[in-house]
């Protein structure tokens, strides 16, 4: 379908269609009233807004936390399409799936006069108020820069609480990685990463089978010989003692961080007010097969390898920041070390605390008693990064595995999850938000890795090239997110440009670290063959 015909067809429903320059969003589409093809009723047989008010559901403690001024966070997912966008297909797909979900057909109601707690209230969804289609110049000079600027401008615009807290932007512009771009923006109170990626994937199908829902990779179980009963008993005792000790140490460090323990002031450490600044979001795509090759060779997990890559990339980037571009060399072994000693640099790692992370039917996720519940079921882990220039890139992997192994034998994530809920319920969201803010602000960055589909997928008939999600609104200047999709891994970097003015160079250092670690693995294999 030609883009010109799409614009003419939707122009009556989308008044005005926004006009966008290469640097800023000039005007947002507001929709065409309460009627039209984009309107859908999501409240069953209820007819009046007054009746809908009676169906209000109080916000969960986690949702209330993400609406506090200090932690008012939003999620943005940049999705590359391998084909031009058919607007009608997207509209029909959203009408038949997304807006039927309770969170996406409810708006936030705060009725402080009557003393009621904030609640989700079902409402009629007019898709024209949620979908923005900019009128683009097909001959623009730099489409990649345009998309980057467009997304950055979106982080400057607060969510409109008079309607459900999500929006979709359709950009029919060809970039270096995709033929068109779909941008999903939603408030973090709607759910955490697992909830939202599950919902997104529930709206997609396998590219090879349009009727099949995509699946997540399944960890292979290793068949090891069972130890004797006495050995199992001793191992259990040892693991329990380790878990108790690690949990105690990590809890003390978490409490100290909330009270006074700050990271070293490096060039990537945020400043007061960072949470209010817009974000510059860039991404790079690397081969997931390369990461799996490293994982298998080192007998590690994907998380171990990703953390090692991030430590190597950040070390290279910070060394250039401290040394200056004219002093930085290309290879790690040839670089002069300009890094200060004993840098304390930690990331807040968001952890899913649900028993299961499989993609489930959304009705089951909302059902009471289901193991996989919708919402914000997350805990926090403080993850120390080793910032140094190491001659052997594989040493970054060994150090990352040692850190993650200790974190696995700890209840830190569950402890922070349940203690956060306790503070929310007893002292209120303001106190909980202040505690969370202080803890996050005393660390340097956010870090996360969400497992994506194991095969190529399509979004309402549009085969996807990549998925690049991130979050903003928290008091850190740097967020690094890894998102897998089929045989690709997308590295997403979101920065406060007033602190980190060159996120593309940081992305390049992360990608180069993947290559250095892969080359080290190949050299290791060659040495093993020579030794034989």
Kindly write down the DSSP assignment for every residue of 93-125, as one continuous string. HHHHTGGGSGGGGEEEE--GGGTPPPEEEE--E
- Are 422 and 343 contained in the same domain? yes
Longest dimension (CA), the chain: 79
Q: Are residues 343 and 429 in the same domain?
A: yes
CA distance linking residue 185 with residue 472, whole number of Å:
11
Helix or strand (DSSP H, E) at 247: helix 229-259
In this structure, the answer to whether residues 386 and 287 fall within a common structural domain is yes
Are residues 142 and 248 located together in one domain of the fold? no
Cα-trace Rg, the chain: 24
Looking at the structure, do residues 237 and 173 belong to the same domain, yes or no?
A: no
Domain that holds residue 307: 230-455+473-531
Same domain as 423, residue 281: yes
What is the three-class DSSP state of 314? Answer: helix
| Residue 525 falls inside a structural domain | yes
Spot the catalytic one: 67, 188, 417, 474: 188
9 occurs within a structural domain = yes
CA distance 397 to 309: 8
> Residue 96 belongs to a domain with what CATH number?
3.30.559
* Domain match, 249 and 167 both: no
Residue 369, CA distances (Å) to 363, 366, 372, 374 in order: 12, 9, 9, 11
42 closest CA partner among 202, 163, 131 = 163
Q: How many whole angstroms from its chain centre is CA 155?
A: 14
Last residue of a domain, one of 128, 158, 190: 190
| Domain presence at residue 208 | no
Q: Which of 318, 332, 336, 302 lies closest to 395 in space, CA to CA?
A: 332
**Phi and psi of 75, rounded to 5°?**
-110, 135
Note whether 374 and 498 are same-domain residues: yes
User: How many CB atoms are located within 10 Å of the residue 62 CB?
Assistant: 21
Closest CA to 313 of 387, 263, 382: 387
The Cα–Cα gap between 88 and 201 comes to 20
The answer to whether residues 177 and 267 belong to one domain is no
Strand order in the sheet with 457-459: 131-132, 166-171, 180-187, 74-81, 462-472, 457-459, 204-206
pLDDT for 61 equals 74
- Residue 297 in domain: yes
462 is catalytic: no
Domain boundary among 190, 216, 239: 190
* 234 φ/ψ angles, rounded to the nearest 5 degrees: -70, -40
User: What's the structural domain count of the chain?
Assistant: 2
Residue at 56 is within a domain: yes
Domain with residue 273: its CATH number is 3.30.559.30
What's the Cα-to-Cα distance from 222 to each of 70, 291, 292, 295, 335, rounded to whole Å? 45, 20, 16, 15, 40
Look at residue 305 and tell me if it is in a domain. yes
Contacts of 423 (CB under 8 A, 6+ apart): 431, 432, 435
Average confidence (pLDDT) per 10 residues, the chain, 532 residues: 35 34 36 42 44 63 80 92 93 85 86 71 90 88 94 94 93 94 92 74 80 71 67 87 93 94 95 93 96 94 95 95 63 69 92 60 44 66 94 94 93 88 84 89 92 87 93 94 93 96 95 95 84 66
Global pTM value: 0.85
Q: Answer yes or no: do 173 and 255 share one domain.
A: no
How far from 294 is each of 234, 264, 404, CA to CA, in Å?
A: 32, 31, 17
| 390 and 77 Cβ atoms separated by less than 8 Å | no
Contact 286, 488 (CB under 8 A): yes
Q: Is 144 inside any structural domain?
A: yes
One domain for residues 184 and 234: no
CA dihedral 194, 198, 199, 202 (to 10 degrees): 180
Does a structural domain hold residue 7? yes
127 and 271 housed in the same domain: no
Q: Which two tokens stand for residue 268?
A: 């990537």
Q: d(Cα 400, Cα 320) in Å, to the nearest integer?
A: 22
């Amino acid at each position: 379908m030609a883009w010109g015909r799409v614009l003419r067809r939707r122009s009556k429903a989308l008044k005005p269609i926004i006009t966008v320059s290469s640097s800023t969003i000039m005007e947002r589409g507001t929709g065409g009233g309460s009627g039209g093809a984009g309107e859908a009723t999501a409240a069953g047989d209820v007819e009046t807004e007054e009746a809908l008010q009676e169906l209000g559901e109080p916000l969960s403690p986690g949702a209330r936390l993400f609406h506090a001024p200090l932690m008012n966070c939003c999620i943005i997912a940049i999705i590359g399409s391998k084909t031009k966008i058919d607007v009608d297909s997207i509209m029909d797909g959203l009408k038949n799936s997304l807006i039927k979900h309770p969170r996406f057909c409810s708006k936030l109601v705060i009725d402080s006069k009557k003393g009621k707690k904030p609640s989700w209230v079902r409402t009629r969804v007019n898709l024209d108020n949620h979908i923005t289609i900019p009128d683009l110049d097909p001959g623009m000079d730099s489409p990649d820069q345009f998309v980057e600027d467009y997304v950055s401008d979106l982080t400057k615009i607060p969510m409109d609480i008079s309607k459900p807290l999500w929006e979709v932007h359709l950009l029919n512009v060809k970039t270096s990685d995709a033929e068109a771009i779909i941008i999903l923006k939603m408030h973090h109170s709607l759910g955490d990463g697992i909830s939202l990626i599950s919902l997104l994937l529930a709206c997609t199908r396998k590219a090879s089978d349009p009727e099949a829902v995509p699946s997540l990779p399944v960890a292979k179980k290793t068949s090891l010989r069972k130890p004797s009963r006495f050995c199992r008993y001793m191992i259990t005792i040892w693991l329990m003692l380790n878990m108790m000790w690690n949990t105690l140490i990590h809890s003390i460090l978490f409490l100290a961080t909330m009270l006074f323990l700050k990271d070293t002031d490096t060039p990537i450490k945020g400043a007061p007010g960072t949470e209010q600044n817009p974000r510059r979001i860039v991404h790079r795509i690397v081969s997931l097969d390369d990461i799996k090759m490293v994982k298998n060779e080192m007998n590690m997990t994907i998380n171990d390898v990703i953390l090692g890559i991030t430590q190597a990339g950040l070390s290279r980037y910070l060394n250039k920041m401290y040394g200056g571009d004219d002093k930085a060399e290309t290879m790690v072994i040839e670089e002069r070390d300009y890094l200060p000693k004993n840098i304390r640099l930690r990331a807040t790692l968001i952890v899913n605390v649900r028993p299961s992370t499989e993609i489930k039917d959304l009705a089951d996720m909302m059902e009471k008693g289901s193991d996989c519940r919708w919402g914000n079921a997350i805990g926090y882990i403080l993850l120390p990064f080793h910032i140094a220039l190491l001659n052997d890139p594989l040493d970054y992997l060994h150090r990352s595995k040692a850190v993650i192994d200790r974190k696995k034998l700890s209840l830190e994530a569950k402890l922070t999850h349940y203690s956060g809920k306790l503070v929310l319920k007893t002292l209120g969201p303001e106190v909980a938000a202040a505690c969370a803010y202080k803890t996050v602000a005393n660390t340097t960055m956010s870090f996360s890795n969400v497992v994506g589909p194991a095969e190529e997928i399509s979004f309402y008939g549009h085969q996807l090239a990549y998925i690049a999600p991130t979050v903003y609104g928290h008091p850190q200047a740097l967020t690094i997110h890894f998102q897998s999709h089929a045989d690709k891994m997308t590295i997403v970097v979101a920065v406060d440009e007033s602190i980190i003015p060159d996120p593309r160079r940081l992305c390049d250092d992360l990608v180069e670290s993947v290559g250095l670690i892969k080359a080290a693995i190949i050299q290791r294999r060659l040495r093993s063959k020579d030794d034989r």
